Amino acid sequence: MPREIALADAFVPGLLLVFVACLLMLWVVDTIVGRFGLYRFVWHPPLFRLAIFVCMFGAAGLLLFR
């Protein structure tokens, strides 16, 4: 994946798109987890959510810049 992507002739950092994609993924994960109430087994749900997001974004970002 290129580091900068042209969207309608404007250069957008690829990382931004990855960020947005990760937000969407988090949203999907949240929907599934919320449906089954799994966050109740976690000590600090917001922290856990943030950690999941950091993992996803970190992994995707590293893949991008490999």
**Furthest C-alpha separation in the chain:** 47
Asked if 6 contacts 16 with a C-beta cutoff of 8 angstroms, the reply is no
Tell me how crowded residue 10 is: count the other CB atoms within 10 A of its CB: 8
Q: Least distance in Å: CB of 30 to other proteins?
A: 4
Q: Which listed residue (17, 33, 56, 64) binds other proteins by CB under 8 A?
A: 33
Q: Is 15 in the site for other proteins (CB under 8 A)?
A: no
Of residues 41 and 66, the one with the C-beta less far from other proteins: 41
Total residues contacting other proteins by CB under 8 A comes to: 16
